[in-house]
Amino acid sequence: MTVGGIIVARGRTSSGRPAGGPNGWRPISAYTAAVAVGILLLATSVLAGRADLALIGIPGLLAATWAYASRPTTPLRADLHEPSSPTTPGELTATLRLTAGPGDGADIVHLRITAPGHRTTHLTLAARTQDQDREVPLGLSSVRTGPQQTFTVDLRGSRHGTWEEEPTQVRAATRLVLPGAAPLGRLPLPRRLRGLTGPHSARRLGDGTELRDIHPFTPGDRLRRIDWRTTARRSPELETLYVRRTYSTAEATAVLVVDSRDEVGPDVRTWRGYGIIRVDEPTSLDLARHAAASVATALVEAGDRVGLEDLARRRRPLPPSAGRRHLRRLVHGLALAHPKDPASAHRVRPPQLPADAIVYLFTTLLDDDPLHLVRTWRTAGHPVVVIDTLPDVHPVIESHLAIAWQIGRLEREDRIAALDAEGIPVVRWAGSQRDQAAVRFEALAHAARRHVPGRTP
């Protein structure tokens, strides 16, 4: 059985008491039937004067007496042991540890293991193995990210086939699954860079590695910048010294804006909360988290500053920063992005962005709000790259849903065409087109570099 990750959780019933309370043992119906049949046969043998009936009923009473004398008193306890740190999607493991009494506890355990989006699994196994506590490995697998509901284990212990415990439940806490990152090459950068140092060459003069020109020595130039070969060629008498002038280095600032106001899957029937989204198919928010984590990783590894803004949350956004520690904060913030109440998700004003920052907007383009945001940012001078995170929609069978999706699809295509007409690139991040996203980003980065004034590709 497979699904996202789980946090370490103590075994608890739905009411909060430990699994298998001390007073939770009861005889099963076979035990009660054996006692009733034995008494009935003894009474019949006395009234009818038939000793053979007594011989038939006595073994049942003796077995019931032995079962009562060996009744269990130790409750069965269960614990779920999971990694406490967040994890990435994929095959995950957990361990269910069963603790039974050494001599007066359960000897057989019946388990029912469930997880959202998976088939229910039933197990019957021995409570102890070689006089040690039993450990049951559990596996979960899912492509979903973010907060995930995982294991729910219903268990019941039995002893000698005559005593059983009240059914109890062990529920795992919500697990935070972090998005992974795909390798990307060069990414589009803002037109103007900031700072006095960084991984990119700016358009202003300064200390750097990219040559701008050869210029006569002026007050303020450093002696180590003198180009003696050029000086010897142009001024053999050393009347004029020539220095090599370079472009200064700077860093880029990018802001990742995640549109987490809604979360839709490939099945249109689940868009209004009906049905369960399959765990082997990523939703739009899963794709947004993965795309944003990939872009953030590529930018941070290049030495740029990256910030994060969530359209569905009113909390303070993550300001732009750099470094591996900040990258972990970004990924953790992406995993926490999830839809809020639609009534409170509407923004009157667009998020405020740092000056000279490029915006990466991750959205499904299912409404007009992203277009208003993009146009507002473009008016303020921010370059914008839109990443389309709508999953590949499955064919719709129901006629009314097919008509609704056809209208929504046409409106969405009109929005994408409007963005393209305004010169705003839209990169598709779903299905087979996800592999082409890196090539598309590379082309956008090359085009942006080629059109920078005073620079050559």
**269/161: higher pLDDT:** 269
Q: Which two tokens stand for residue 381?
A: 């001078």
Please write the tens of the pLDDT for every residue from 12-31.
Answer: 333 333 443 345 677 766 66
**Cα distances (Å, whole numbers) of residue 50 to 34, 40, 56, 378:** 20, 13, 11, 102
Q: Is residue 3 part of a domain?
A: no
Please write the tens of the pLDDT for every residue from 218-271.
Answer: 787 777 777 788 888 888 877 788 887 767 666 788 999 999 888 898 988 888
Please write the tens of the pLDDT for every residue from 407-420.
Answer: 999 999 999 999 99
Residues 221 and 275 in one domain: no
| Cβ atoms 6, 92 nearer than 8 A | yes
- Range 135-148 burial, b when 16+ CB lie within 10 A, else e: ebebebbbbbbbeb
pLDDT value at position 171? 86
Residues 215 and 262 in one domain: no
pLDDT value at position 285? 93
Contacts of 298 (CB under 8 A, 6+ apart): 183, 184, 185, 187
Q: Is residue 354 part of a domain?
A: yes
Q: Is the pLDDT of residue 381 over 80?
A: yes
pLDDT value at position 396? 85
Mean pLDDT, range 49-76, rounded to an integer: 72
Enclosing domain of residue 206: 200-250
Residues 405 and 433 in one domain: yes
Q: Is the pLDDT of residue 34 over 50?
A: yes
Q: Is the pLDDT of residue 394 over 50?
A: yes
Please write the tens of the pLDDT for every residue from 90-99.
Answer: 777 788 888 8
Greatest mean pLDDT among 38-47, 68-77, 79-88, 261-270 lies in 261-270
Q: Which two tokens stand for residue 330?
A: 């970004």
Please write the tens of the pLDDT for every residue from 188-213.
Answer: 888 777 665 655 655 655 555 666 67
0.85 surpassed by pTM: no
pLDDT value at position 361? 95
Greatest mean pLDDT among 33-37, 79-83, 146-150, 263-267 lies in 263-267
Residues 132 and 88 in one domain: yes
- Phi first, then psi: what are they for 335, rounded to 5°? -65, -30
Q: What is the layout of strands, in order, in the sheet containing 200-205?
A: 200-205, 242-250, 211-216
Residues 258 and 246 in one domain: no
Mean pLDDT, range 151-163, rounded to an integer: 82
Give the pLDDT band of residue 281 (cuts 50, 70, 90).
confident
CATH number, residue 352: 3.40.50
Q: Is the pLDDT of residue 184 over 60?
A: yes
Residues 223 and 329 in one domain: no
Residue among 410, 409, 443, 448 at smallest CA distance from 427? 443
pLDDT value at position 391? 92
Q: Is residue 2 part of a domain?
A: no
* Residue after which a domain boundary falls, among 216, 231, 250: 250
Least confident range of 62-71, 146-155, 277-286, 306-315? 62-71
Residues 136 and 230 in one domain: no
- Alpha carbon distance 121, 3 (integer Å): 13
Percent of the chain residues topping a pLDDT of 90: 21
Q: Is the pLDDT of residue 69 over 70?
A: no
pLDDT value at position 70? 67
**244/399: higher pLDDT:** 399
Q: Is the pLDDT of residue 173 over 70?
A: yes
Percent of the chain residues topping a pLDDT of 70: 79
Residues 350 and 435 in one domain: yes
Q: Is the pLDDT of residue 331 over 50?
A: yes
* Residue after which a domain boundary falls, among 176, 209, 232: 176
pLDDT value at position 15? 36
Residues 224 and 318 in one domain: no
| Cβ atoms 109, 127 nearer than 8 A | yes
**146/452: higher pLDDT:** 146
Residues 217 and 298 in one domain: no
Bridge-partner residues for 142, per DSSP? 90
pLDDT value at position 330? 94
Mean pLDDT, range 340-363, rounded to an integer: 77
The total domain count for the chain is: 4
Q: Is the pLDDT of residue 33 over 80?
A: no
**373/215: higher pLDDT:** 373
Residues 259 and 403 in one domain: yes
Q: Is residue 183 part of a domain?
A: no
pLDDT value at position 144? 87
Q: Is residue 456 part of a domain?
A: no
Mean pLDDT, range 62-71, rounded to an integer: 69
* Residue after which a domain boundary falls, among 215, 231, 250: 250
Q: Is residue 191 part of a domain?
A: no
> What are the counts of helices (DSSP H) followed by strands (DSSP E) for the chain?
8, 22
Q: Is residue 222 part of a domain?
A: yes
CATH number, residue 143: 2.60.40.10
pLDDT value at position 207? 59
Q: Is residue 194 part of a domain?
A: no
Residues 316 and 245 in one domain: no
